[in-house]
Amino acid sequence: MAGFRVKCAALSIQRAHGPPAGSVSTMIDARGLDAQDTLKNHYSPLQWDQAEMCGIAGIYTFGREHDGAELRRRVEAMDATLRHRGPDSTDTWIDAEAGIGLGHTRLAIRELSPLGDQPMVSSCGRFVIVYNGEVYSNAELAADLAGTGRHLKGHSDTEAMLEACAEWGVERSVTRFIGMFAFALFDRKERELYLVRDRLGKKPLYWGILGGRLLFGSELKALRAVGGWTPELDRNALASFLRHDYIPAPHTIYKGVQKLEPGCLLRVGPDGSPKISRYWDARVMVESGIRNPAQGNEHELVDEFDVLLRDAVKRRMVSDVPLGSLLSGGVDSSLITALMAEQSRQPINTFSIGFQESEYNEAPYAKQIAQHLHTHHTELYVEPVHALEIIPKLPYWYDEPFADSSQIPTILVCELTRKYVTVVLSGDGGDEVFAGYGRYQTGLNLWGRADAAPTPIRNALAGVLLRVPPALLNKCLARIPGRKYSTQRGTKLHEAARAILRQDPDAMYRQMMSHWDEPNAMVRQAGETQGILWDRTVARSIPNLLDRMQFYDSVTYLPDDILVKVDRAGMSVSLEARSPLLDHRVFEQAWRLPRRMKFRNGETKWILRQSLYKRVPRQLIERPKMGFGVPIDHWLRGPIRDWAENLLDEKRLTSQGLLDPAPVRERWKAHLQGANWAYPLWNVLMLQAWLDANPGVS
């Protein structure tokens, strides 16, 4: 962190304290600020009991005894790769006779005493758990357990979860957990290992049966730390990566290694045959919500939802360490911050990121929100040089090719935030659950018009749009009186124009979400993995196009892109991020709301706005959505051009034998001449950077 302290001092960090009379921004030298002492003067935690963020890992060698010392050495090697996730302590639990080893690294948030340490053994001695996450319903669990005669020794949710599983079984207990979690639990009597991941995929869990043993961990690097297997690149998964910018679950970049999908439970015994079941299914919840809408008038539904969201925020404000909010100035983060502010006895700490390029910069809006809510506000303006400092680290933090370019500012804002607090709340999930993305309106408009037109006219419309450069479209849209458009709407219209050439709305959606249209032609000897986005039964069970686009985003883009980005960025500096909008109760209630209460006459997130406008003036919120983007398109033509040119060298691409160099070079040249191919090029660049960082992958 010392290196970052020096960098921050040169980065234009502003710490704006917000007294009732109005906030005053002052420039500070970050090296001279004792952040922990400052926050202790302003923060007083609520007296509830919670847990800690961590890293977990383990090995299960099926049906045979294992050398205990060797097993411990391997698990400790796995733990060592995860110390950034849990720098406060680390420990292992080994049962050589059963062939099982569990490891844990701890970032202590609640129950800072040894009573919260892991691996943890149940009071009956039968079960052992390692756990990453937080369960916010542990007070209710503890009360119910007391009624069975199980009285907890401490206050950690780890103990409450463990004793619940011992009392009621894993399958029954997990349905009672409110929160984010990935855990491994070993039943010593039956010699069964359970791996469980939370409903919406907040916390990661990787696993694979490799060399006659099951390996699992919070990150892929933990599995790679175990010898005895050679990571082999999965070209099919690589093709999927080029389409999306992430590798969709359950696949990973390695053959034989998987992501445990959200809402899933894996159970494996000494015979080595894994069985995966779903204890919670987003599709089932969406379909059920649509079939069984909430009853009541709009005023009642808004009030009921406001109470639920307040509870979701309050549960996530519990911490024995300093806490803050990531504030972009948009609807989601502003509402979360406002709900925090009205439920806190002291001013909330807020953090924002900014850019010199005005079309990407939301920092001034965030600052206005912070002033209105009287928060202690800190903002960081990012320059290209900071991207250059972050880029070499991306393959390590993300483990497999990952190309959401907002990973750069996310890491930077997490580094900044971690100097002051250990826990932050964010607005993640609002766009997917409450129809916030601009592409929803674009898709509905274009498909509605295209679907009503004969095929020749549809093709002609798309052709006209594609002939107009995105920059010119942006200028034309900006001159339309009475309408506000995103500065990226021209690019989005180009994506949609290519999309309406497809034969059905789901194909249009895939096109809108694709960076490379034909990834199989890009990756040699590859066949793209096709999951839920190609499932034609979805259109029958979720017939409305808006609902379907939201659902697709909720089960693909959200867990495999957004939540991966935030988890790795936060954990890279041991910062915990909590997402009240991804409380599963909020998700389920949102899908029971009438569609008009999420998307109304072109206005997104209608019900969130009603809650927000009770607390923040409309004029501070109503503006075109920017998203959390970075000016990669500009940077590729300027300060990071040499870095990119080296990775996109035609001889390099040819010698690797993975990608067809021709389309890559074609788009690179076009981008340098003024076209915007930043997103597909960033996919290739992140792949190349990952390959450089992992030379042993075949």
9 or 276, higher pLDDT = 276
Nearest to 334 by CA among 369, 362, 368: 369
Distance of CA 552 to the CA centre of its chain: 15
* Number of neighbours of residue 367 by Cβ within 10 angstroms: 23
Cα(78)–Cα(221) distance, integer angstroms: 8
Average pLDDT estimate for 148-160:
90
Domain boundary among 227, 255, 280: 280
Number of Cβ atoms within 10 Å of the Cβ of 95: 18
Other Cβ atoms less than 10 A from the Cβ of 21: the count is 7
Strand stretches in 555-666, DSSP E: 576-578, 599-600, 603-604
Pinpoint the alpha helices (H) of 542-619.
545-552, 563-571, 584-592, 606-613
Q: Which residues, 6+ apart, have CB-to-CB distance to 43 below 8 Å?
A: 322, 323, 346, 349
Q: Which DSSP state fits 82?
A: T
Q: Is residue 349 part of a domain?
A: no
DSSP 358: G
For residue 490, pLDDT over 60 is answered with yes
Alpha-carbon distance values, 402 to 136, 256, 308, 581 (Å): 30, 19, 34, 24
Domain closes at, from 254, 280, 306:
280
H or E stretch covering 503: none
**Chain segment 71-82, per-residue pLDDT in tens:** 999 999 999 999
What is the chain's alpha carbon radius of gyration, rounded to the nearest angstrom? 25
* Higher per-residue confidence, 403 vs 449: 403
Q: How confident is the model at residue 64 (pLDDT cuts 50, 70, 90)?
A: confident
- Give me the pLDDT at residue 695, please: 86
Question: What average pLDDT does range 592-615 have in this prediction?
Answer: 95
The proportion of the chain whose per-residue pLDDT surpasses 90, expressed as a percent, equals 67
Last residue of a domain, one of 248, 280, 312: 280
Domain presence at residue 198: yes
Question: Into how many domains does the chain fold?
Answer: 2
- The answer to whether residue 688 is domain-embedded is yes
Residue 631: per-residue pLDDT: 83
pLDDT tops 90 at residue 158: yes
Q: Where does residue 420 rank: exposed (0-12), middle (13-18), buried (19+ CB within 10 A)? A: buried
Instruction: Please tell me the distance from the alpha carbon of residue 644 to that of residue 684, in angstroms, as a whole number.
Output: 10
DSSP classification of residue 557: I
As a whole number of angstroms, the distance between CA 414 and CA 311 comes to 25
The Cα angle at residue 245 between residues 239 and 55, in degrees rounded to 5? 105
pLDDT over 90 (residue 312): yes
Place of tokens 């010699």: 191
What pTM was estimated for this model as a whole?
0.88
Is a pLDDT exceeding 90 seen at residue 388?
no
Q: Average per-residue pLDDT in the chain?
A: 86
The answer on pLDDT for 649 being more than 50 is: yes
What pLDDT, on a 0 to 100 scale, did the predictor assign at position 696? 76
Note the helical H segments in 275-406. 282-291, 298-315, 331-342, 363-373, 384-390, 394-398
Question: Band of the pLDDT at 488, cuts 50, 70, 90?
Answer: low
Say yes or no to pLDDT of 435 above 50. yes
Number of helices (H), then strands (E), in the chain: 32, 21
Q: Taking residues 230-243, what's their average pLDDT?
A: 96
pLDDT the model gives residue 478: 62
Please report the pLDDT score of residue 27 as a whole number: 27
How much of the chain is in helix, strand and coil states, percent to nearest 5? 45, 15, 35
Would you state the pLDDT for residue 342? 95
In residues, how long is the chain?
698
Q: Which domain does 655 fall in, by range? A: 634-693
Coil/strand/helix, residue 520: helix
Does the pLDDT of residue 45 top 80, yes or no?
no
Q: Which of 33-42, 472-481, 650-659 has the highest mean pLDDT?
A: 650-659
Q: What's the pLDDT score for residue 321?
A: 73
Q: What is the mean pLDDT of residues 591-599?
A: 97
**Residues 577/570, Cβ–Cβ less than 8 Å:** yes
Question: What pLDDT is recorded for position 108?
Answer: 67
Asked if residue 293 has pLDDT above 60, the reply is: yes
pLDDT value, residue 109? 61
* 535 has pLDDT over 80: yes
Most confident region among 249-253, 356-360, 509-513 by mean pLDDT: 249-253
Structural domain contains residue 73: yes
Q: How far apart are CA 164 and CA 145, in angstroms?
A: 7
Predicted confidence band at 481 (pLDDT cuts at 50, 70, 90)? low
* Mean pLDDT (whole number) for 5-9: 28
Nearest-angstrom CA–CA distance, 144 and 140: 6
Strand 275-278 with 323-326, pairing? unpaired
Look at residue 237 and give its three-state secondary structure.
helix
pLDDT of residue 355: 78
* Long-range CB contact pairs, 473-479, < 8 A, 24+: none
Report if residue 506 sits inside a domain: no
CB 119 within 8 A of CB 188: no
Determine the 3-state secondary structure of 433 from DSSP: helix
Classify 605 as helix, strand or coil: coil
Instruction: Determine, yes or no, domain membership for 193.
Output: yes
Q: What is the DSSP string of 481-497?
A: TT----TTHHHHHHHHH
Higher local confidence (pLDDT), 508 or 78? 78
> What are the pLDDT digits (tens) for 203-219?
999 999 998 899 999 99
Question: What's the pLDDT score for residue 25?
Answer: 33
Residue 426 CA: distances (Å) to CA of 114, 157, 331, 589: 29, 22, 11, 19
**Catalytic annotation present for 476:** no
Backbone angles phi, psi at 356, to 5 degrees: -70, -30
266 touches 194 (CB < 8 A): yes
With a cut of 80, say whether residue 14 has pLDDT above it.
no
Task: Identify the weakest region by mean pLDDT among 277-291, 588-602, 630-644.
Answer: 630-644
Q: How far is CA 78 from CA 34, 103, 232, 472, 637, in A?
A: 33, 8, 19, 52, 40
Which candidate in 54, 165, 264, 414 is catalytic?
A: 54
**Which residues, listed in sequence order, are joined to residue 325 by a DSSP beta bridge?**
350, 425
Confidence of residue 483 (pLDDT cuts 50, 70, 90): low
Q: What is the pLDDT of residues 391-430, one digit of tens each?
A: 999 999 999 999 999 999 899 999 999 999 999 999 999 9
CATH value at residue 218: 3.60.20.10
Which of 540, 491, 512, 534 has its CA nearest to residue 447? Answer: 512
Residue 387: per-residue pLDDT: 79
82, 219 contact by CB (below 8 A): yes
Amino acid at 56: I
Whether 56 and 132 have beta carbons less than 8 Å apart is answered as yes
The answer for residues whose C-beta is within 8 angstroms of residue 121's C-beta and 6 or more apart is 93, 127, 128
* Higher-confidence position of 617 and 465: 617
Q: How large is the average pLDDT for residues 574-594?
A: 97
Contact 100, 60 (CB under 8 A): yes
- For residue 180, list its beta bridge partners: 134
List, for residues 81-107, the tens digit of each pLDDT value.
999 998 888 899 999 999 999 999 987
Read off φ and ψ for residue 297, nearest 5 degrees. Answer: -80, 170
pLDDT-above-70 percentage for the chain? 84
Of 366 and 359, the one with more pLDDT: 366
Phi, psi of 430 (to 5 degrees): -65, -40
The rounded distance, in Å, linking the Cα atoms of 588 and 282 is 9
Is residue 235 a contact partner of residue 526, using CB atoms and an 8 Å limit?
Answer: yes
3-class secondary structure, 15: strand
Distance from C-alpha of 194 to C-alpha of 605, rounded to nearest angstrom:
38
Residue 678: CB partners within 8 Å, gap ≥ 6? 405, 632, 633, 636, 671
Look at residue 625 in the predicted model and tell me its pLDDT.
62
Q: What is the pLDDT of residue 177?
A: 97
**If residue 93 lies in a helix (H) or strand (E), which one and from where to where?**
strand 89-95
Residue with tokens 């079939």: 291
In a domain, 207, yes or no: yes
Tell me: pLDDT of 19 over 50: no
Within a domain: 260: yes
Q: CA-CA distance, 295 to 275, in Å (whole number)? A: 39
